[in-house]
Amino acid sequence: MNRFQELLANPALTEALPEALVETLVMVGIAGVFTLVIGLALGVILHVTAPGGLRPVSWLHVLLSAVINVTRSIPYAILMVALIPFTAWLVGTSIGPIAACVSLTIGTAPFFARLVETSLREVPSGTVDAARVMGSTRGQIVRKVLLPEAMPGLVASITTTLVMLVGYSAMAGLIGGGGLGRLAYNYGYQRFDTAVMIATIVIMVILVQLIQWIGDRIVRAVDHR
Amino acid sequence: MISIRDLRKVYRQGEREVVALDGIDLTVPTGAVHGIIGHSGAGKSTLVRCLTLLDRPTSGSVSIDGSDLSTAADRDLLQARRRIGMVFQHANLLDSRTVLGNVAYPLEVTGQDKAGRTARARELLGLVGLEDYESSYPSQLSGGQRQRVGIARALASDPRVLLCDEPTSALDPATTDGILELIRDLSDRLGLTVVVITHEMHVVKKICTSVSLLDRGRIVEGGALTEVASDLGSRLSAALLPLPEAALDTAGPLVEVLGHGPAADVPVSAVIKDRFGHGVRVLAGSVEDLAGVRFAHHLLALPDGADDRTDGADAVVAFLEQNGYRAAQRTRTQVETAQGTAQDLGGAQ
């Protein structure tokens, strides 16, 4: 049996690996959607309520900012463990890819919210003034001016966030989240199956490259600056 | 018609209160092109922000065609703002939209249907000469073209008033003249009332029918362009009709003379020689047409030792005043101050 046939005969690679990849994609996909929606909303609120913003609300800005900072200062490895009871209460179990999405979303949404806030802040105040002078409502300014004008930065932030999610999802695998993280741990670390370890790393690298490549393409397409 | 009454704006900077606008009163009649000139820090930007209610004035009122903006509730303010078209120094276009999308924006926020706003935006682009650029993005245009898009956009909501904040300060001289001509032309064709805020006298000379000088939050001089220009000794006159830098290499008295209309076409030194028998030296002079009226502005050196009463400075000044000129004896310091004023307001040659 040559090397290649040996690999094909390894059930960890032929059966467990595709399954783990799907689990990882499910985690990144679901947590990604929630992160983007929640993070975008929080980022917009942060920007709009900031002093000198469209609708300054000091207490809300300070409160939200503090909550985001607290969440961001907890390392993900600790956050996911700390959130086990909450996850169990929310989705009925603390095991599996769906359960992992809870801590993944809570871990990355605040980070994405900050990136959104930064992107929105880069829209020149003159552009917003122009929109206000033309009689735009605040909602119209957010939807028709701030978000479209910040789009290149927002897409780049989404890319960064998704890449981070891929990394976090592997960590989530260690406490029962499933996916490529668990595969690498179970086979590569505990069973010394180097082939699985390497295959996992290669797939993760390809996944990240793919996300970054697609993200960069979209940024280029939406950037008219 | 724009009517500004006792407009005040006080900013709080920590403990300190900064008075940015200190009781502005101004009326701009319908169809006028009014320039508001002042150097940086005079309150121009604050005035613009208060006129568009981007900042609420501390007190006073701004009304356009009789309706008061400063007391309008937030919802009415959106409507009121749409009656003012605004042109910004840096155009402030939306980079994410095409030229057509930018011009259509004001119509989009008022909820006009897509076909209607596209047709209107195309028409406006024709008006500013950019019909071939509708699917370009702002970053693909030159500064002058971007400003034309800005003007088209400002006109989209059919405003009664066009407020231009330093519309040409970011442009080169040739492009500046093109944009100014466009603004003037649009004002004539559409019967717009135009207010141009600027720190460059060139802009005022080129398009304005009236002008105000803003200094430390107050309007300190103002009126019809020809009126303020002929007010010898005023700051606006010094800046509108600047004299070239002159070497004051004479011991005799200096006399500044301003003639307009027919008086501007007669050589003033010859007039003086005919009357007094002695010649005068012209140290500096300039002839300019402002709002269709010719102005001749001279700095004369009278011969040293002439007797004040018979043929010296007093006699010459009195004679010139009687003959339709504005004239005054000047010290060297006064001449230099006038030069400084002209420089300050961007009118120096």
Query: Which residues from A are below 8 Å from B93, CB to CB?
Result: 127, 130
The pLDDT assigned to A131 comes to 94
The pLDDT assigned to B306 comes to 66
- Report how many domains make up chain B: 2
A4 pLDDT above the threshold of 80 = no
Whether residues B219 and B258 fall in one domain: no
Residue A46 structural domain:
3-222
User: Which residue from B86, B96, B109 is facing A149, i.e. has the nearest CB?
Assistant: B96
Structural domain contains residue B313: yes
The pLDDT assigned to B194 comes to 95
A211 pLDDT above the threshold of 90 = yes
Instruction: For B42, list phi and psi in degrees, rounded to 5.
Output: -75, -20
The pLDDT assigned to B149 comes to 96
The pLDDT assigned to B348 comes to 57
Residue B299 β-bridge partners: B256, B284
The pLDDT assigned to B343 comes to 83
Whether residues B203 and B249 fall in one domain: no
Token pair of B136 as six digits: 């370009």
CATH number of domain containing B28: 3.40.50.300
Looking at the complex, report in whole angstroms how far the Cα of residue A5 sits from the nearest Cα belonging to chain B: 53
Residue B223 β-bridge partners: B211
> Are A224 and B153 a contacting pair at CB < 8 A?
no
What value does the mean pLDDT take over residues A174-179? 78
Using pLDDT thresholds of 50, 70 and 90, give the confidence band for residue A122: very high
Residue B73 structural domain:
2-229
Q: What is the DSSP letter of B159?
A: -
Return per-residue pLDDT of chain B as tens, 349 residues: 899 999 999 988 888 988 999 999 999 999 999 999 998 888 898 999 898 888 889 999 988 888 888 777 777 788 878 888 999 999 999 999 999 999 999 999 988 999 999 999 999 999 999 999 999 999 999 999 999 999 999 999 899 899 999 999 889 988 999 999 999 999 999 999 999 999 989 999 999 999 999 999 999 999 999 999 999 989 999 899 998 888 888 888 889 999 998 888 888 888 888 888 877 888 999 999 988 899 999 999 888 876 666 777 888 888 999 888 999 988 888 888 888 888 888 765 5
CB proximity B208 to A under 8 Å: no
Structural domain contains residue B234: no
Using pLDDT thresholds of 50, 70 and 90, give the confidence band for residue A1: low
Which of B92, B97, B135 to mutate to probe the A interface, most A CBs <10 Å? B92
pLDDT in tens, A26-43: 999 999 999 999 999 999
Whether residues B159 and B64 fall in one domain: yes
- Among B177, B194, B229, residue at a domain's last position: B229
- Mean pLDDT estimate for chain A: 90
Whether residues B47 and B95 fall in one domain: yes
Q: In chain B, whose CA is at the least distance from the CA of A128?
A: B92
- Report how many domains make up chain A: 1
Whether residues B194 and B275 fall in one domain: no
Report the C-alpha gap between B105 and B97 in whole angstroms: 9
Whether residues B203 and B247 fall in one domain: no
Q: Which amino acid, one-letter code, is at A134?
A: M
- Residue B28: helix, strand or coil by DSSP? strand
Whether residues B170 and B270 fall in one domain: no
Query: A39, A25, A215: which is closest to A101 by C-alpha?
Result: A25
Whether residues B171 and B51 fall in one domain: yes
Tell the residue number behind the tokens 């095409």, with chain if given. Answer: B98
Q: In chain A, whose CA is at the least distance from the CA of B86?
A: A133
Task: List all residues 6 or more positions away from A143 whose beta carbon is below 8 Å from its beta carbon.
Answer: none
Token pair of B158 as six digits: 């059919």
Whether residues B263 and B218 fall in one domain: no
A22 pLDDT above the threshold of 60 = yes
CATH number of domain containing B283: 3.30.70.260
- Residue B300: helix, strand or coil by DSSP? strand
Structural domain contains residue B236: no
Structural domain contains residue B349: no
Beta strands B293-301 and B16-28, pairing class: unpaired
Which of B55, B96, B151, B158 to mutate to probe the A interface, most A CBs <10 Å? B96
pTM of the model: 0.87
Quote the distance between the C-alpha of residue A49 and its chain's center: 24
Window B:74-103, CB contacts with A under 8 Å: 78-79, 81-82, 84, 86, 88, 90, 92-97
Which of A55, A127, A132, A134 to mutate to probe the B interface, most B CBs <10 Å? A134
> Are A134 and B82 a contacting pair at CB < 8 A?
yes
Longest dimension (CA), chain B: 80
CB proximity A130 to B under 8 Å: yes
Whether residues B156 and B297 fall in one domain: no
CATH number of domain containing A136: 1.10.3720.10
> Are A149 and B110 a contacting pair at CB < 8 A?
no
The more confidently predicted of residues B81 and A53 is A53
Query: Which residues from A are below 8 Å from B138, CB to CB?
Result: 224
A82 pLDDT above the threshold of 80 = yes
